[in-house]
Amino acid sequence: MRKSINLFIISTCLLLAACSTNTIRPTKSESALMTDVVTPEALLLDVGVNIFEPNITKQKSKDLGGYTGILEAEANYMPFRLMETLQNSGNWGVVRIIPNRQSEMDVWVDGKIIKSNGALLELEITVSDASNSQWYNKRYKQKVGAAAYNINSNKKEPFQNLYNEIANDMLLFYRKLNPEKITNIRAISQLQFARRFSPVAFDDYVETDNKGRLIIKRLPATNDPLLQRINSVRERDHLFVDTLQDYYANFTRQMNEPYFEWRRAYYEEGEALREVRSQATKRLVGGVLAVLAGVLAQGSDSPVTRTAGEIGILAGGVAVASGIHKQEEAKIHVETLQEISASLDAEIKPYTVNLEERTVTLTGSVTEQYAQWRAVLSEIYRAETGGI
């Protein structure tokens, strides 16, 4: 009996002495691959990056105190970072952000934010092409440590390696395509744009197979006057898309510093929050066990054991009180995160971009302006073709 009590007291003391360990998060290093040969322009595919799906859950909203604007901002910020990475690699034609796929492109990148907390970024990426063929669907994950937010880092993107990995996977898949497949993807993209404006004239050029993929049945003549007019309309669409990229560039520039600081604070506060919660749990559990061990020790015949038990009761009471204090400290960290989220939410609200085309002013969000622009393009097409 004495031996069991002594062992219980020793194990309790070890539990009380246990302290939290520091987790070292490795940062995977990966550079974006660049083609060492010049790719003919006819074989360069244009890439559209859709706005990512934000991870707005009840729990996430609760953690951020209801400040979900930061989550929506991330869904616009991350596609721009990926777009920049793809564009700077020199492996593609034009790479543009196009919300809700509102303009035809050769290749599409759709993303969903699985987790983003300053220490970890996890994205689900789906890449497909204009023929509705899916290249791949994959989850990307990167963890970073405090070094990623070091004061000497010049506020570089902490998760750039993740974007590089996406770009490299896309390039590796692209390199497997033969020239005929690439040419077909470009042609389908062009025909889909034409069919949007003149479905009667261009509906017969492309068909859908039993797997939902688009297949070219035949091609219009290169000197087809209607196709030439539609190509002219498409050039204007490209100019509009290019203009709206300035919106995302300005948005990213405005967001860059506060978002970096928010992620740094989120990382630091998150680490501190996990630390104090761990300590609180250990101290509460250890304190209760210490009190229990002390009570059991009072039934021992050994004065030494009884004395140790009294000390255990006192130590357990202190540990329980300390655990409760740590829980209160955790609440303070949560409030700090809420304040940070609120301040950033106020700094990154989108602004209105006015574009004039045929005396038409486009207002509202970028997505709303895209929708308005599609109507303007239809007016331009009807005016130039007489509604053919």
pLDDT tens digits along 213-224: 999 999 888 888
- The domains located in the chain, with CATH, are 41-249 (3.40.50)
Of the candidates 199, 195, 196, 185, the one whose C-alpha atom is nearest the C-alpha of residue 131 is: 185
The 8-class DSSP code of residue 53 comes to B
Cα(292)–Cα(312) distance, rounded to whole angstroms?
8
Report pLDDT for 332.
Answer: 58
| Contacting residues for 321 by C-beta, under 8 A, at least 6 apart | 287
Sequence-ordered list of residues with C-beta below 8 angstroms from that of 1, at least 6 positions apart, any chain: 300
Mean pLDDT value of segment 352-379? 71
Q: pTM to 2 decimals?
A: 0.73
Residue 16 — very low, low, confident or very high, per pLDDT cuts 50/70/90?
very low
Q: What is the DSSP letter of 213?
A: -
Averaged pLDDT for residues 40-67? 81
For the beta carbon of residue 277, count every other beta carbon within 10 angstroms. 16
CB 96 within 8 A of CB 105: yes
pLDDT of residue 388: 57
Whole-number average pLDDT of the chain: 75
pLDDT at site 275: 54
The percentage of residues in the chain with a pLDDT greater than 90, rounded to a whole number, is 30
Residue 171 has pLDDT above 90, yes or no: yes
Rounded Cα distance, 18 and 11, in Å: 11
pLDDT tens-place string over residues 282-328: 444 454 454 455 455 555 556 555 555 455 545 555 554 554 554 45
Segments of 286-359 assigned E as strands = 356-357
What is the rounded distance in angstroms from the CA atom of residue 313 to the CA atom of residue 344? 47
Q: What is the mean pLDDT of residues 99-106?
A: 91
Q: Which residue has the tokens 């308005």?
A: 372
**Average pLDDT of the residues in 57-83:** 77
User: Given phi > 0 = left and psi -120 to 50 = alpha, else beta, which region is 364?
Assistant: left
Nearest CA to 159 out of 340, 27, 341 is that of: 27
The pLDDT of residue 337: 46
pLDDT at 296: 53
pLDDT band for position 56 (50/70/90)? Answer: confident
pLDDT of residue 358: 55
Q: Compute the Cα dihedral for 221, 225, 228, 234 and give only its sign.
A: negative
Would you state the pLDDT for residue 70? 74
For residues 357 and 332, give the distance between their C-alpha atoms in angstroms, rounded to a whole number.
52
What would the mean pLDDT of 115-144 be, rounded to a whole number? 95
Task: Give the pLDDT band (50/70/90) at residue 10.
Answer: very low
Residue 147: predicted pLDDT:
85
Q: How far apart are CA 291 and CA 190, in angstroms?
A: 76
CB 334 within 8 A of CB 273: yes
How high is the pLDDT of residue 67? Answer: 59
